[in-house]
Amino acid sequence: MAGQPVDVVSAMAGTHAQVQSAAELGIALRLDGATRADVQQAPDLVKTFGQRGTVHLLPASELPLWLGALSAVPPGPSPWDENVRMTDEQTETVFAAIGKALDGKELTVDELTEALVELAGPWAGDWVMPAFQDLWPRWRTVTHLAAVRGVLAFGANKGRKITYTNPGVTPAPTRQSLEHVVRSYLRAYGPSTPQRFAHWLNAPIKWAAEVFASIELEQVEVEGEPAWVLPGDLAVPEVTECVRLLPYFDGYSYRVGNQPPSLLYPGKAKDRVMRANFQNLIVNGTVAGLWHQRKSGRRVDITVESLVKLTKRQRAELDEQAQRVGQIIGATPTVTYGPVTVGGHA
């Protein structure tokens, strides 16, 4: 498609960016001639904690609306023990301290921890939060909530270390925000249901149903089941025969957002691909295998494990996709058909 990286991210209702290179590849694949550098240099994208508390790229112009909607999601029970979690008063103190410490700055986790200990008190830096077989400082239990409050987002990396900064954004009013996010969701994933919207957002189903009911939507029927679309959005897209190589989290995000696994992962794909975060081989709109790339200098070796028999035309299109991946990451690709021997997310 023509356009800019921000147009793709907006059309996707946010791009999962836990693996930044995968997000850059997924965005560039959707733009004519774009490379990772074009995505990296896009000035109108913000990396922050989005839906489900996971790292996403979001359009800067839409950030107040996203934060307003995420702020409205009813919180679930705290996952932290009493000796780990903070009181409401402590949480507000940490939010204020984060906003002050990051104002006009980009700080690593260690630098921000030092600043919060000074601004909020030593308790904010107590190493009590279990994470990755280690302990993190107490304040990190509310990192994604600070992002939702609008006082924290990702800054530019310092070498291999991430940084945080204060985007200086105030969440927009709730109703306006929820309508924006529901409309964005349905444009990307519809027709859909409140149950799937709740799954995508990590929200209570009853609350999601109330949100859907408060917004003007149109009910349709999909394979005998009720679903909802934006008013007038009734055109059924034509099925296009195509082969695509999707990066990590790309196909996963669509499964989380809408379609039942049985439709996206037919046959062998259900057991081989769905249960781990592999890069997906897509044939005619469904998962038909997996792939992996290993970059070495100016070359990239792409291994494709197809679970269906590819036609000559489909192999030719897959080769074109491999060339496009190489162009995006700046390497000359070679394609090998055979088993992917690494685990998911490798």
Give the tens place of pLDDT for each residue, 95-154. Answer: 999 999 999 999 999 999 999 999 999 999 999 999 988 999 999 999 999 999 999 999
Q: Going by C-beta distance under 8 Å and a sequence separation of 6 or more, which residues neighbour residue 222?
A: 191
Q: Are 205 and 194 in contact (CB under 8 A)?
A: yes
Give which of 164, 63, 169 is closest to 105, Cα–Cα: 164
- Please give the Cα distance from 200 to 220 (Å, whole number): 20
Residue 338: pLDDT over 80: yes
Which among 44, 96, 74, 98 has a CA at the least distance from the CA of 174? 74
- Give the model confidence (pLDDT) of 53-96 as tens digits: 999 999 999 999 999 999 999 998 889 999 999 999 999 999 99
Q: Is the pLDDT of residue 330 over 90?
A: yes
Domains annotated for the chain, with CATH where assigned, are 174-229 (1.10.10), 243-337 (no CATH)
Say if CB 155 and CB 108 are below 8 A apart: no
- Let me know: does 36 contact 74? Beta carbons within 8 Å: no
Residue 253's pLDDT is what? 72
The pTM (predicted TM-score) of the whole model is 0.93
Specify the amino acid at residue 248.
Answer: Y
Q: Which residues, 6+ apart, have CB-to-CB distance to 273 below 8 Å?
A: 265, 280, 287, 289, 290, 307
Amino acid identity for residue 217 in this structure: L
Q: What mean pLDDT do residues 192-205 have?
A: 94
Q: How far, in Å, CA of 304 to CA of 89, rounded?
A: 53
- The dihedrals phi and psi of 140, each to the nearest 5 degrees, come to -75, -10
Q: Which two tokens stand for residue 11?
A: 């059309």
**How high is the pLDDT of residue 259?**
65
Distance of CA 13 to the CA centre of its chain: 9
